[in-house]
Structure 1
Amino acid sequence: MTVTTTLAQRAGALLGPRHTSYVVALVTPAGAEVGAVGADEHADVELGSVSKGITGFLWRDAVARGEVAEDAVLGDHLDVPSRPARIPLSALATHRSGLPRVAGANMTRRTWELWRHGRNPYREDLPGLLALLDGVTVRRGSRPSYSNLGFQLLGHAVARAAGLAYADLVAERIARPLGMTDTYVPTSADLLRPGAVAPLARGGRVVEPWANEAVAPAGGVRSSAADLALLLRAMLDRSVVGADAMDPVAPMVGRTRIGAGWLTGPLLRRTVTWHNGGTGGFRSFVGIDRDHGVGVALVSASTRSVDGAGARLLADEGDRA
């Protein structure tokens, strides 16, 4: 693996000057490169909803191991009210659960606190998350509707089936086998590692990290440029556990289809398998072009999107491959 300022400069030119702290990883048939600005290649950042893709891998791996049945429902593995209990895990994985995006009557206030004061809106532990389901309405129908809550429950159900906490499941089945030594799931802010990149809101204001047990499977995984290069390679060669999570099984939006969390569809002249993410102070993009053997990961300590820059890097490298 080569650490190069050239890659960081290319990413910076696409991101623009308002992105002052970011990490980037590029994998091609010729090798891997990583870069970082305002950090180093081993500094960890929040992946946000890219964590849903990690959860998708873990679910498909649990099915392959026989820990979770292909047709399992939520109530098979978590103690939840009767209506959510009947939701298939496959529906959670494809955003067809009928669950709302988030749970809790006070999420409007928490969202205001996020944008006004930078507070993490996700504060429950797992029992607290499950308690919120008492007041949740499950909508009928099979149309896709993006749900953080759905992936929170999917990840914790899979972890419960394995007899582990979600953070330990990520460590045991994703991070350690792939040699991703910088990748972990902090369940509180005091568990952040030294050197962790601070989340930044607009104007460069430091805000609270999204380090919380409940949200972990939907947005709590942290990683680094070096580790993201390893993940991209494992996605491209399908050595990551549960690799069939990347294979689309249902329509999502337009020409985009979804597997287990991972989206596949047209993106700047290419068919790309990808996910993006956003937290209170990070934006992320992870995508692979399987046809050309190219992958890009880009995460910035910012609330400004990195999707366009990540997609452009991926397309440009695909042209060279």
Structure 2
Amino acid sequence: MPSLLPSTARTLLARTARAQRDGRVPALVAGVVRDGALVWSTGRGEITEPHQDVQYRLGSISKTVTAITVLRLRDEGRLDLDDALDVHLPGTPLGGRTVGQLLSHLAGAGSESPGQWWERAPGTTLEGLGLSAADVVLPAARRFHYSNLGFGLLGELVARARGRSWAEVARDEVLAPLGMTRTTTRPSGRAAQGYAVHPWADAVQVEPEHDAGVMAPAGQLWATATDLARLGAFLLGDTGGVLSPDTLEEMTIPAGIDSSAATWSSYGLGVQVQRVGTDPARPGPVLVGHGGSMPGFLAGLWVDREEGAGALVLANTTSGLDNGLTAALLADLRAAEPRIVDPWTPQSSPVPLELLGPWYWGPSPYVLRAIPGGLLHLGGLGRPGRTSRFRPGPDGTWVGLDGYFAGETLRLDPVALNLATFVFTRTPYDPAAPVPGGVDEGGWG
């Protein structure tokens, strides 16, 4: 496989070794993904080699796979994210909540399924859960509330839509096409034993493993480092035809978060999205991925899409591992071997050049630029302002991709830019433009 510089590999090894020792992890595997491949990995502790081919429980990283199966149905026109759950999975107390709300943990569903703790007790069917009004704990779309139950319901939706089990759909439509042949719902072949480590002594105890039934889509997958690296490559853009690039991009859009803030943590559609770093003047990178935990196991997969790199960890312990290890590995990689970006090359403007440059919203200066990918960018000039990118629409208009104007329509005119009810003019309150409320005849005095 491609490799890193020896000095970089040593830095990553030193950090991983310290995390395994300080976290008292029986066996820890860590790896780095770049250029679509696992370019570095190591195993620490009681490791069976080759460490890249030993299965570990992924826990909630399984939710990303479940989300992909749902989004494939949406892309086929079989459902809409605004559909009520009842349309596809009738008879639950969450029937009025939408598919999209379930995917982004905004449906107000209870965090866990009723009955015994599903992560440590054999699973049952949807009917066996005996859901009731008590499993709806918050109003819809009011606040983020992480819900394993919600993803169990999404897996059941997929199973009923496809006419076969969620596990079969995930295998045939996601795992196999991505080449993740060592990812299964139960341990298969070479697999790590899960342990709990005593909090006050260096003693371990075996943790149980079972079939979670209807809750399996929330956290039951097992995978090797090699397979998890392939999922990392998927999140970095190598979708293998499983999803379109546009749908992958949609997965990574944070729900309900001001993404211009220096640091934040959110959830997209089946993935966690967070900006790391603490300096407001120098915001850190945005990472996309998921953490995972099940009794006896901890896992993490995070990618920096701007840097084109990812990091993964797999551990066979219930608790103790530093959950910042993946982000730290990515920071080490960025510092030691930063990505060399593609060279700049001239491109034709998607709009006439005379439409680009400074515009004013009232007295506030903005600038409209053409940016790579055939997009436009509108943002404050020399000071903070509402910022958005725009893609071409079907009728000569432009549609906001992000920021304040996401989803809004931009209409270009040599005299004025019309965006929602905003009118941007070539000079501050240009009297020749249709400024709402008109322009005082006295002008600027």
Q: TM-score, normalised by structure 2?
A: 0.63
Q: What letter is aligned with 1:84?
A: L
Q: What letter is aligned with 1:140?
A: P
Give yes or no for contact 2:69–2:158 (8 Å, CA) kept in 1: yes
Matched position secondary structure for 1:261: coil
For residues 285 and 333 of structure 2, the distance between their equivalents in structure 1, rounded to whole angstroms, comes to 11
Q: What letter is aligned with 2:289?
A: W
Give yes or no for contact 1:289–1:318 (8 Å, CA) kept in 2: no
Matched position secondary structure for 2:313: strand
Match of 1:15 among 2, 16, 20: 20
Q: What letter is aligned with 2:16?
A: A
For residues 165 and 215 of structure 1, the distance between their equivalents in structure 2, rounded to whole angstroms, comes to 12
Q: What letter is aligned with 2:43?
A: A
Q: Which residue of 2 aligns with 1:250?
A: 255
Describe how 1:126-275 pairs up with structure 2 within 5 A.
126-129=126-129, 131-133=130-132, 135-141=134-140, 142-186=142-186, 192-202=187-197, 203-239=203-239, 241-242=242-243, 243-244=248-249, 246-251=251-256, 255-268=264-277, 269-275=284-290
Please tell me whether Structure 1 or Structure 2 has the larger radius of gyration of its CA atoms.
Answer: 2
- Name the one with the larger strand percent: 2
For residues 264 and 17 of structure 2, the distance between their equivalents in structure 1, rounded to whole angstroms, comes to 30
For residues 170 and 83 of structure 2, the distance between their equivalents in structure 1, rounded to whole angstroms, comes to 21
For residues 252 and 258 of structure 1, the distance between their equivalents in structure 2, rounded to whole angstroms, comes to 9
Matched position secondary structure for 2:177: helix
Matched position secondary structure for 1:80: coil
For residues 153 and 173 of structure 1, the distance between their equivalents in structure 2, rounded to whole angstroms, comes to 19
Give yes or no for contact 2:300–2:326 (8 Å, CA) kept in 1: yes
Give yes or no for contact 2:289–2:301 (8 Å, CA) kept in 1: yes
Q: Which residue of 2 aligns with 1:101?
A: 111
Worse-superposed segment, 203-212 or 38-47: 203-212
For residues 185 and 156 of structure 2, the distance between their equivalents in structure 1, rounded to whole angstroms, comes to 13
Give yes or no for contact 2:80–2:99 (8 Å, CA) kept in 1: no
Q: Percent identity?
A: 26
Q: Which residue of 1 aligns with 2:62?
A: 51
Structure 1 portions without partners, runs of 5+: 112-118, 187-191
Structure 1 segments, 4+ long, off by >4 Å, are 2-10
> Residues 183, 30 of structure 1: CA spacing in aligned structure 2 closer, same or farther, 3 A cutoff?
closer
Describe how 1:36-115 pairs up with structure 2 within 5 A.
36-37=43-44, 38-39=47-48, 40-81=51-92, 83-104=93-114, 106-107=115-116, 110=117
Worse-superposed segment, 21-30 or 278-287: 21-30
Matched position secondary structure for 1:184: coil
For residues 281 and 134 of structure 1, the distance between their equivalents in structure 2, rounded to whole angstroms, comes to 32
Give yes or no for contact 2:287–2:303 (8 Å, CA) kept in 1: yes
Determine if the alignment matches structure 1 residue 28 to structure 2 residue 34: yes
Q: Which residue of 1 aligns with 2:309?
A: 294
For residues 126 and 235 of structure 1, the distance between their equivalents in structure 2, rounded to whole angstroms, comes to 30
User: How far 1:185 moved relative to its partner?
Assistant: 1.5
Q: Which residue of 2 aligns with 1:114?
A: none
- Pick 1 or 2: higher relative contact order, CA cutoff 8 A, min separation 6: 1
Give yes or no for contact 2:20–2:28 (8 Å, CA) kept in 1: no
Give yes or no for contact 2:63–2:218 (8 Å, CA) kept in 1: yes
Q: What letter is aligned with 1:312?
A: A
User: How far 1:139 moved relative to its partner?
Assistant: 2.5
Structure 2 portions without partners, runs of 5+: 198-202, 278-283, 339-445
Matched position secondary structure for 2:185: coil
Matched position secondary structure for 1:124: coil
For residues 260 and 60 of structure 1, the distance between their equivalents in structure 2, rounded to whole angstroms, comes to 9
Give yes or no for contact 1:8–1:36 (8 Å, CA) kept in 2: no
For residues 184 and 78 of structure 1, the distance between their equivalents in structure 2, rounded to whole angstroms, comes to 25
> Residues 69, 291 of structure 1: CA spacing in aligned structure 2 closer, same or farther, 3 A cutoff?
same
Measured against aligned partners, the alpha-carbon deviations of 1:79-127 in whole angstroms (never above 9, x if no partner) come to 423x4111101010111111111122x44xx48xxxxxxx813522343
Size of the alignment, in residue pairs? Answer: 304
For residues 271 and 15 of structure 1, the distance between their equivalents in structure 2, rounded to whole angstroms, comes to 26
Matched position secondary structure for 1:275: strand
> What value does the CA root-mean-square deviation take over the aligned residues?
2.6
Matched position secondary structure for 1:250: coil
- Name the one with the larger helix percent: 1
Matched position secondary structure for 2:75: helix
Matched position secondary structure for 2:29: strand
